[in-house]
Structure 1
Amino acid sequence: MIKFFLMVNKQGQTRLSKYYENVDISKRAALEADVVKGCLSRRKDECSFVEYKDYKLVYRQYAALYIVVGVTDTENELSIYELVHNFIEVLDKYFSRVSELDIMFNLDKVHIILDEMILNGHVVETNKNRILAPLLVLDKMVES
């Protein structure tokens, strides 16, 4: 099960965070700081899976952004690794080469995309067209 989904830049600033279990706001900052420090400090030739407390961290770097997903011990790391890639492909398809600025200025749309893919910590959709369908409908409504 997915416990949290983070998107951070190279400076360690959180651009998106989504928690699928209850974590106190005061503890989130410390959790994010530890997780980000642990993943960003690793070399490129090291494995993208890290054990951290009760979680397994799966992270992937895309240009200046890191996506870090915290999962339970029973979750398949490779499937989460591919989920992260699929998430970026969906963002690329919607934003035409997604950038950190796209994330910052369209955070609501990024959350919609993430919510279409993950529900209560479980992957529910991976088809890019089905993920983007509700967002495209919203865009058409705004245009009219």
Structure 2
Amino acid sequence: MTYCPGPSALPAAACWDLAAPQIHFILLFSRQGKLRLQKWYTTLPDKEKKKIIREIVQIILSRNQKTSSFVDWKDLKLVYKRYASLYFCCAIEDQDNELLTLEVVHRYVELLDRYFGNVCELDIIFNFEKAYFILDEFIIGGEVQETSKKTAVKAIEDSDMLQETVEEYMNKPAF
């Protein structure tokens, strides 16, 4: 989608592309540099992923908190935000909208908050499978799939109900 403010006689350069960013990977890590969650939408060997993670964590943790949340890195752009003790970092295409990516990160945090009730690092550590599930309900293949918080939370709650039903069924004695 393209947004052009004002009269339509403006040159195309005055317009913004509001297309959702193409996310290459998402990293969640602590202030101590411990990786808590990683989701890759680009295929890379494990050795390369580890090298990238080490490099990005070092870059972001060494930055002053008052600097921009955007870093040009190789042929990508890193967009990150710190929430409490966790950093949420996305790698996007160089031409993608950084502010829209910050909104994507914020929406993920809102979904986590809604599910866990004021999410913290321990929630991610001990319930990492739910954190991945919530991310997968929201982003598929590096693109935002569900923008509605209500719909995403409903899908997560439905999954929990199904899991509880299956567990109850499996715990019943068979005759």
Provide the residue aligned with 1:57 in structure 2. Answer: 78
Which structure has more RCO (C-alpha within 8 Å, separation ≥ 6)? 1
Letter in 1 for 2:43: N
Q: Distance in 2 between matches of 1:34 and 1:142?
A: 38
SS at match of 1:12: coil
Q: Which residue of 2 aligns with 1:129?
A: 150
User: One-letter code of the match for 1:129?
Assistant: K
Find 1:13's aligned residue among 22, 34, 43. 34
The structural deviation recorded for 1:74 is: 2.0
Q: How many Å separate the matches in 1 of 2:52 and 2:151?
A: 33
Structure 1 residue 87 corresponds to structure 2 residue 108: yes
* Pairwise CA RMSD: 1.0
Count of residues in correspondence between the two structures: 144
Question: Once the 2 structures are TM-superposed, how far is the Cα of residue 75 of structure 1 from its aligned partner?
Answer: 1.2
Q: Write the distance in 2 (CA, Å) between the matches of 1:143 and 1:124.
A: 26
1:103 and 2:120 matched: no
- Structure exhibiting the larger radius of gyration computed from Cα positions: 2
Moved over 2 A (4+): 141-144
SS of alignment partner, residue 112 of structure 1: helix
Q: Which runs of 5+ in 1 are unaligned?
A: none
Deviation at 1:117, TM superposition (A): 1.3
Query: 2:25 is aligned with what amino acid?
Result: F
Identity of aligned residues (%): 40
Q: Counterpart of 1:3 in 2: which secondary structure?
A: strand
Amino acid across the alignment from 2:105:
V
Partner of 2:36, secondary structure, is strand
Q: TM-score, normalised by structure 1?
A: 0.96
TM-score (norm: length of structure 2): 0.79
**3-state SS in 2 of match to 1:97:** coil
